[in-house]
């Protein structure tokens, strides 16, 4: 930072919806301060209407994204890793200034987030082989079970590890061919806000990833009850928040996964890179076809 | 010999009685007790509630037995027994656990005829189906899962699975013993203990299964069976010591259970209703497709969650399909379920019959044309002739709601895209059927139908090795196959 | 001619479903009598002699002297050289004389020779001609050749009843069976028949079902009735009853008559008679309860 008298440009980060960066329709913003309490920037205070618009975008992008070849999804996820690597310094700076733990912690988080994207990039064309199989039925049928994308998944990212948490929840969801509407860390929203720039430059089709910043109490119940949402992935939730999600989800029986991951567990690669973290966001479809000429 | 002259009116086939089949009643006699208690901790015991309900043969309206009604105290006892049995059952060497399941499977086969007769008496389904489908498939589920018990380490590479604890399992009345097997077999194979609640109208075969558990020496408390109406099930689901709930039944009750369990930390799998599409393209093998449609909707009187209740026919072959459908339905024999030649038995209960009749009225009132087989129905008992509606519009109630009876709604489509859109235009997503002779069309359409099971050139095929379960509001989780184990294990890296 | 296809697994499952019908008591008795009346009692061997034909004709007219209510069979089926003798023996009995012709069983001679064969049989007094389809031409796609032959032979029959043997065991697929059935019907067959009895597999329930369904399609489209004759391999009364079940439930009452349905068989009749004895006496029977013709 310059110490000259020049006045810095204070940025207001926007939402990332349908491949564009709109402001919240509500006109509200939230101030982001650094660990010393100094104003760093503003982010949008996303509303239920922003959420609704994001779901519309995610829904319309869903069939196209699911139909892309897994190989293509691999490359796009890898491209996200490349773009994140390119922005590593910026993310490290932002995280170091807003999250306790300083530069070293921040750098570690960014590196882990990049590696996570690389790991799931590699899974895109393999998880189906691990989760699916053919079935030896006692009849002249070729019978096989395949994993298919759920559709639209809403993600509630944890407050801690604002970048790694986001990436950890997002990667398995989009890797499987779902589109995502993600509510970023409420406490540290900057990583979410900047992550839109990663998506926008990584060939992620419009609507596949939609990023909101805002407050859980306003959005969780709306997300959970939205009938055009097929699944929910959340982490870092209180019991009350989990109840809100599961209660709302009963409306259309959306699939809810609330992971309990804390502190060092976010860095546990064996657990966090497992294909079984994709499993909750696919449907297993079993197909029977007679075999006979 | 000269061929018959060409005729002006539409040629019709006559399915009369030039040669009729004599009645062929299944002769096996089964002993039914006057009264059944609850099966808790390896013993039959009278209910704490001191209350009983009648179970009725829907084909004759005769009361078969009195069945215990479990109250909260009974649920407590059953769950406590399952909880107490859990540590030892969990620690038992997996290959030994497997052998218990193998024993159960074998005894189901050996007592197959008795179980089939009981199933038919209590539920009204044709003896042909209970004998050839329900009971053999129930045995197969135990055989299949027996083999998994000591192979769970290979099911999900990289993960170690441990059992969850006490599983509450609530099952419906359409396939009483088979659903019990679908639920109990994987739970036991994975090392869990069970409290099962059969449906109110069909408890007898589950209680017979309890006798088999006694015969094979299954340790007390590993499976407990409590009977009663929906309240008993609700109490079971809500019990604090239940770790997992598996429910098969209506979407309405499924949602209610999901709400009740929100935030409880209990695992939940739901196998719910459906309004499954069966799609016939003009290049299909028409005669087999029509057989499949009949199998899809009239199997088990249409009391099948994955029944192919919406038939979509490509416009160009509509007339041909309807003509064949009418012919095929004319040959269906409706009546005494104990007659080995019966194709459609009794409707499971008076309440369900009323529901079906209401839909028949609504269908007609909304403008669809109702057709029914002219099969003569018995005087006593609950009956519904095989029914199909033409002139059905996608907006009609009978095209949207699950009827759970022998009622087919026939609609048309013009292009594959329209077929897919119409097929998916439902909150349900349990199953679907596709009939076409073109392979590439099969794969494209199968991949775009939102359904957990897609039957290509077939319908209503089941196998223990084949995962079953729905998309969307038909529930979540799978039963059968490797994927079915997922819901009964705590899996850790 | 349409290109109707058959699903093998489904048609075999449907055929098997007829075998679950339980035919007891009076319906069994009636069924057995009906089967008897539908039998084309057959001898087609190199060692056939006048004596053999005599005993066959006797059996055809009076299947069992101990069971006088049992009807005579529909026809006897012999090689052309025995037609005249059979004609003489069966005169006035109502039992028809059927003759295989057209270079049975292979059909591997030119059309002119086949026509000579057919005309000779007709000349000798055959009521019915069982011709063999030209499978070589059929399997090499020369459908017009096959058709032309059938039309020519139909003409040579001069009004006598023509059964066209498809020899389904050589056609291999059900799709071929449908195509051959449609072709034979279009070319003027009064009956379609599965097999010569010289090739395995001969008649099976699924192949017969496929042919019955083709007859049904033709009837529903045109109102014209075509007859059906499974031949070869049906030797047990129980199997024959299952064929009747299949006819009843596929084509209905009208086809439950020797006019429209026949069994081509040699040993079936005796098993039917044994079953009838069993029903009469209530005792299990011995092989010497019926006569070898």
Q: What DSSP character marks residue B10?
A: P
Whole-angstrom distance, CA of residue C257 vs CA of residue C260: 6
3-state secondary structure of B13: coil
- Best B18, B298, B317, B455 residue to mutate vs chain C (most C CBs within 10 Å): B18
A138–chain C Cβ distance below 8 A for any pair: no
**A162-175 and A70-86 helices, crossing angle to 10°:** 160
Q: Which two tokens stand for residue B192?
A: 């869990």
3-state secondary structure of B92: coil
CATH code of B176's domain: 3.40.605.10
Q: How far is A138 from chain C (nearest CA, A)?
A: 13
Query: Are B251 and B304 in the same domain?
Result: no
Termini Cα distance of chain A: 75
The pLDDT-based confidence of B7 (bands split at 50, 70, 90) is: very low
- Which among B262, B491, B493 has the least Cβ separation from residue A243? B262
CB distance C25–B285 less than 8 Å?
A: no
Does residue B14 sit within a domain? no
Write the CB contacts of A23 (distance below 8 Å, at least 6 apart in sequence): A12, A14, A15, A44
Query: Are B257 and B112 in the same domain?
Result: yes
Q: How far is C30 from chain A (nearest CA, A)?
A: 35
CA-wise closest residue to B457 among B306, B291, B276, B274: B291
- List the alpha helices (DSSP H) in A70-179: 70-86, 88-98, 102-123, 127-131, 162-175
pLDDT digits (tens, 9 = 90+) for B373-431: 999 999 999 999 999 999 999 999 999 999 999 999 999 999 999 999 999 999 999 99
Whole-angstrom distance, CA of residue A192 vs CA of residue A41: 13
- A27: exposed, middle or buried (Cβ count in 10 Å: 0-12, 13-18, 19+): exposed
Termini Cα distance of chain C: 43
Buried/exposed A150-180: b ≥16 CB within 10 Å, e otherwise: bbbbbbbbbbbbbbbbbbbbbbbbbbbbbbb
pLDDT on residue C2: 57
Write the CB contacts of C56 (distance below 8 Å, at least 6 apart in sequence): C41, C43, C76, C78, C86, C293
Query: Are B268 and B281 in the same domain?
Result: no
**Pairing, β A133-134 against β A255-259:** unpaired
- Best A140, A289, A290, A291 residue to mutate vs chain C (most C CBs within 10 Å): A290
- Tell me what the mean pLDDT of segment B72-99 comes to: 98
Our count of domains for chain A comes to: 1
Query: Are B425 and B480 in the same domain?
Result: no
Q: Which two tokens stand for residue A148?
A: 């298919």
3-state secondary structure of C292: coil
Give catalytic status of residue B320 as yes or no.
Answer: no
Whole-angstrom distance, CA of residue A110 vs CA of residue A87: 9
Q: Which chains touch C (3 or more CB pairs under 8 A)?
A: A, B
pLDDT digits (tens, 9 = 90+) for B24-68: 999 999 999 999 999 999 999 999 999 999 999 999 999 999 999
Q: What DSSP character marks residue B306?
A: T
C-alpha distances (whole Å) from B166 to each of A197, B80, B484, C200 are 48, 9, 17, 58
- List the alpha helices (DSSP H) in B30-148: 72-91, 94-110, 112-123, 127-129, 135-148
**What part of C 212-231 touches B (C-beta under 8 Å)?**
213, 216-217, 219-226
- Tell me what the mean pLDDT of segment B170-195 comes to: 98
Domain hosting B70: range is 21-272+474-492
3-state secondary structure of C147: helix
C118: left (phi over 0), alpha (psi -120 to 50) or beta: alpha
Query: So what's the ipTM on this one?
Result: 0.96
Does residue B174 sit within a domain? yes
Query: Are B367 and B451 in the same domain?
Result: yes
Q: Is the pLDDT of residue A58 over 80?
A: yes
- Best A137, A291, A293 residue to mutate vs chain C (most C CBs within 10 Å): A293
C16–chain A Cβ distance below 8 A for any pair: no
The beta strands (E) that lie in B106-220 are given as 160-163, 166-170, 193-197
- Which among A131, A243, A283 has the least Cβ separation from residue B452? A283
Task: Tell me which residue has tokens 């000579």.
Answer: C116
Q: Which chains touch A (3 or more CB pairs under 8 A)?
A: B, C
Our count of domains for chain B comes to: 2
**What part of C 171-230 touches A (C-beta under 8 Å)?**
172-173, 175
Whole-angstrom distance, CA of residue B343 vs CA of residue B356: 19
B461–chain C Cβ distance below 8 A for any pair: no
| Residues of C involved in catalysis | 130, 193, 229
CB distance C9–A293 less than 8 Å?
A: no
Whole-angstrom distance, CA of residue C184 vs CA of residue C186: 5
pLDDT on residue A4: 66
Does residue A8 sit within a domain? no
Whole-angstrom distance, CA of residue A108 vs CA of residue A116: 12
pLDDT on residue B42: 98
Share of chain A above pLDDT 70, in %: 99
Q: Is the pLDDT of residue B8 over 80?
A: no
CB distance B13–C254 less than 8 Å?
A: yes
Share of chain B above pLDDT 70, in %: 98
- Best C5, C8, C191, C246 residue to mutate vs chain B (most B CBs within 10 Å): C5
Write the CB contacts of B84 (distance below 8 Å, at least 6 apart in sequence): B41, B221
- Which among A145, A270, A276 has the least Cβ separation from residue B467? A145
Number of residues written out for chain C? 293
Q: Is the pLDDT of residue A3 over 90?
A: no
CATH code of A231's domain: 3.40.605.10
CATH class, range C8-289: alpha beta
Angle at A162 between CA A157 and CA A166, to 5 degrees: 45
Q: How far is B318 from chain A (nearest CA, A)?
A: 24
Please tell me the least confidently modeled range out of A35-39, A123-127, A147-151.
A35-39
Q: Is the pLDDT of residue B5 over 60?
A: no
Domain hosting A254: range is 13-290
Query: Are B212 and B71 in the same domain?
Result: yes
Does residue B2 sit within a domain? no
Q: How far is A16 from chain B (nearest CA, A)?
A: 28
CA-wise closest residue to A124 among A71, A179, A61: A71
Q: Is the pLDDT of residue B6 over 80?
A: no
Q: Which two tokens stand for residue B454?
A: 């897609």
Selected catalytic residue, list B137, B167, B200, B305: B305
Whole-angstrom distance, CA of residue B83 vs CA of residue B221: 8
pLDDT on residue C14: 98
Does residue A157 sit within a domain? yes
Selected catalytic residue, list B26, B119, B271, B479: B271
- Residue C194 phi/psi, 5-degree rounding, is -70, -50
pLDDT on residue C20: 96
> Residue A231: in which H helix or E strand, if any?
strand A231-235
Does residue A5 sit within a domain? no
pLDDT on residue B146: 98
- List the alpha helices (DSSP H) in chain A: 48-67, 70-86, 88-98, 102-123, 127-131, 162-175, 190-200, 216-225, 239-249, 269-272
Contacts of A131 in chain B (CB under 8 A): 483
Query: Are B291 and B206 in the same domain?
Result: no
pTM for this entry: 0.96
Give catalytic status of residue B444 as yes or no.
Answer: no
pLDDT on residue B1: 41
The residues that bridge with C40 in the sheet, in sequence order, are: C75, C264
C10–chain A Cβ distance below 8 A for any pair: yes
Query: Are B132 and B155 in the same domain?
Result: yes
Dmax (CA) for chain B in angstroms is: 81
Number of residues written out for chain B? 493
Please identify every stretch of chain C with a pLDDT value under 70, giving residue numbers as ranges: 1-2
Write the CB contacts of B293 (distance below 8 Å, at least 6 apart in sequence): B278, B280, B308, B311, B325, B408, B433, B459
Query: Are B173 and B282 in the same domain?
Result: no
pLDDT digits (tens, 9 = 90+) for A228-273: 999 999 999 999 999 999 999 999 999 999 999 999 999 999 999 9
Contacts of C164 in chain B (CB under 8 A): none
Query: Are B482 and B377 in the same domain?
Result: no
CA-wise closest residue to B77 among B44, B53, B49, B41: B41
């Amino acid at each position: 930072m310059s110490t000259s008298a020049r006045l810095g440009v204070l940025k207001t980060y926007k939402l990332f919806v349908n491949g564009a960066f709109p402001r919240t329709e509500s006109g509200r913003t939230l101030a982001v301060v650094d660990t010393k309490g100094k104003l760093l920037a503003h982010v949008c205070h996303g509303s239920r209407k922003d959420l609704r618009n994001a779901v519309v975008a995610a829904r319309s992008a869903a069939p196209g994204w699911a139909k892309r070849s897994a190989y293509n999804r691999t490359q796009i996820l890898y491209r996200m890793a490349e773009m994140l690597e390119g922005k590593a310094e910026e993310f490290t700076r932002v995280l170091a200034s807003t999250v306790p733990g300083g530069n070293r912690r921040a750098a570690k988080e960014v590196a882990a987030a990049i590696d996570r994207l690389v790991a799931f990039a590699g899974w895109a064309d393999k998880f189906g082989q691990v989760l699916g199989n053919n079935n030896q039925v006692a009849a002249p049928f070729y019978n096989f079970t395949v994993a298919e994308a759920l559709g639209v998944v809403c993600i509630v990212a944890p407050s801690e590890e604002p970048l790694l948490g986001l990436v950890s929840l997002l990667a398995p969801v989009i890797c499987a061919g779902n589109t995502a509407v993600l509510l970023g860390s409420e406490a540290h929203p900057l990583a979410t806000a900047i992550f839109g720039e990663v998506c926008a430059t990584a060939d992620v089709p419009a609507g596949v990833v939609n990023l909101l910043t805002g407050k859980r109490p306003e959005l969780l119940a709306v997300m959970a009850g939205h009938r055009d949402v097929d699944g929910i992935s959340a982490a870092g939730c209180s019991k009350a928040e989990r109840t809100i999600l599961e209660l709302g989800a009963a409306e259309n029986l959306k699939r809810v996964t609330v992971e309990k991951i804390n502190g060092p567990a976010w860095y546990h690669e064996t657990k966090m890179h497992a294909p079984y973290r994709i499993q909750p966001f696919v449907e297993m479809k079993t197909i029977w076809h007679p075999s006979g000429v | 010999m000269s061929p018959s002259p060409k005729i002006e009116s539409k040629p019709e086939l006559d399915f009369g009685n030039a040669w009729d089949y004599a009645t062929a009643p299944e002769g096996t006699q089964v002993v039914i007790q006057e009264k059944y208690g609850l099966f808790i901790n390896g013993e039959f015991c009278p209910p704490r509630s001191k209350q009983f309900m009648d179970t009725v043969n829907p084909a004759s309206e005769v009361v078969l037995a009195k069945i215990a009604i479990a109250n909260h105290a009974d649920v407590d006892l059953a769950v406590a027994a399952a909880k107490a049995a859990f540590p030892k059952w969990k620690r038992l060497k997996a290959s030994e656990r497997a052998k218990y399941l193998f024993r159960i499977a074998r005894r189901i086969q050996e007592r197959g005829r008795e179980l089939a007769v009981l199933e038919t008496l209590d539920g009204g389904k044709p003896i042909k189906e209970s004998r050839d489908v329900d009971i053999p498939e129930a045995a197969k589920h135990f055989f299949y899962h027996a083999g998994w018990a000591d192979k769970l380490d290979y099911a999900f590479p990289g993960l170690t699975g441990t059992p969850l604890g006490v599983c509450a399992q609530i099952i419906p009345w359409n396939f009483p013993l088979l659903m019990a097997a679908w639920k109990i077999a994987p739970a036991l194979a994975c090392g869990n203990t069970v409290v099962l609640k059969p449906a109110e109208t069909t408890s007898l075969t589950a209680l017979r299964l309890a006798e088999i558990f006694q015969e094979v020496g299954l340790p007390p408390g590993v499976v407990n069976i409590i009977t009663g109406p929906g309240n008993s099930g609700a109490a079971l689901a809500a019990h604090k010591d239940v770790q997992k709930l598996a429910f098969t039944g209506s979407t309405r009750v499924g949602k209610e259970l999901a709400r009740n369990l929100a935030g409880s930390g209990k695992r939940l799998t739901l196998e719910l209703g459906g309004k499954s599409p069966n799609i016939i393209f003009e290049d299909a093998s028409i005669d087999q497709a029509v057989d499949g449609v009949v199998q899809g909707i009239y199997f088990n009187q249409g009391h099948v969650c994955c029944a192919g209740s919406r038939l979509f026919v490509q416009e160009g072959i509509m007339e041909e399909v309807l003509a064949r459908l009418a012919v095929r339905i004319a040959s269906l024999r409706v009546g005494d379920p104990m007659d080995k030649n019966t194709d459609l038995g009794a409707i499971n209960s008076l309440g369900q019959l009323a529901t079906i009749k209401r839909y028949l009225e609504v269908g007609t009132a909304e403008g669809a044309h109702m057709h029914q087989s002219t099969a003569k129905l018995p005087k006593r008992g609950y009956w519904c002739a095989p029914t199909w509606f033409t002139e059905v519009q996608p907006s009609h109630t009978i095209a949207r709601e699950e009827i759970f009876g022998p009622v087919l709604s026939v609609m048309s489509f013009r292009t594959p895209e329209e077929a897919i859109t119409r097929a998916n235009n439902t909150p349900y997503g349990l199953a679907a059927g596709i009939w076409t002779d073109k392979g590439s069309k099969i794969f494209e359409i199968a991949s775009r139908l939102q359904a957990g099971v897609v039957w290509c050139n077939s319908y209503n095929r089941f196998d223990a090795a084949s995962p079953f379960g729905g998309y969307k509001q038909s529930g979540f989780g799978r039963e059968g196959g490797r994927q079915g184990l997922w819901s009964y294990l705590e899996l850790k890296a | 001619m349409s290109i109707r296809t058959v699903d093998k697994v489904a048609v075999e499952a449907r055929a098997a479903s007829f075998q679950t019908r339980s035919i007891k008591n009076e319906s069994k008795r009636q069924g057995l009598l009906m089967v008897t009346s539908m039998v084309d009692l057959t001898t087609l061997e190199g060692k056939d002699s006048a004596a053999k034909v005599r005993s066959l004709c006797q059996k055809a007219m009076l299947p069992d002297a101990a069971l006088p209510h049992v009807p005579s069979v529909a026809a006897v089926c012999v090689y052309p050289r025995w037609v005249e003798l059979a004609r003489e023996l069966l005169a006035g009995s109502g039992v028809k004389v059927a003759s295989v012709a057209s270079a049975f069983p292979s059909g591997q001679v030119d059309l002119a020779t086949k026509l000579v064969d057919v005309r000779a049989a007709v000349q000798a007094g055959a009521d019915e001609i069982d011709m063999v389809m030209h499978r070589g031409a059929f399997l090499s796609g020369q459908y017009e050749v096959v058709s032309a032959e059938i039309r020519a032979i139909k003409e040579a029959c001069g009004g006598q009843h023509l059964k066209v043997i498809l020899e389904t065991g050589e056609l291999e697929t059900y799709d071929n069976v449908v195509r051959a059935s449609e072709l034979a019907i279009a070319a003027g067959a009064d009956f379609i028949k599965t097999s010569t009895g010289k090739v395995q597999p001969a008649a099976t329930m699924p192949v017969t079902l496929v042919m019955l369904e083709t007859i049904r399609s033709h009837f529903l489209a045109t109102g014209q009735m075509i007859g059906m004759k499974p031949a070869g391999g049906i030797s047990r009364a129980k199997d024959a009853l299952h064929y009747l079940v299949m006819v009843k439930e596929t084509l209905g009452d009208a086809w439950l008559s020797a006019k429209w349905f026949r069994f081509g068989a040699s040993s079936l009749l005796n098993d039917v008679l044994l079953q009838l004895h069993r029903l009469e006496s209530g005792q299990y029977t011995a092989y010497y309860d019926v006569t070898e013709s």
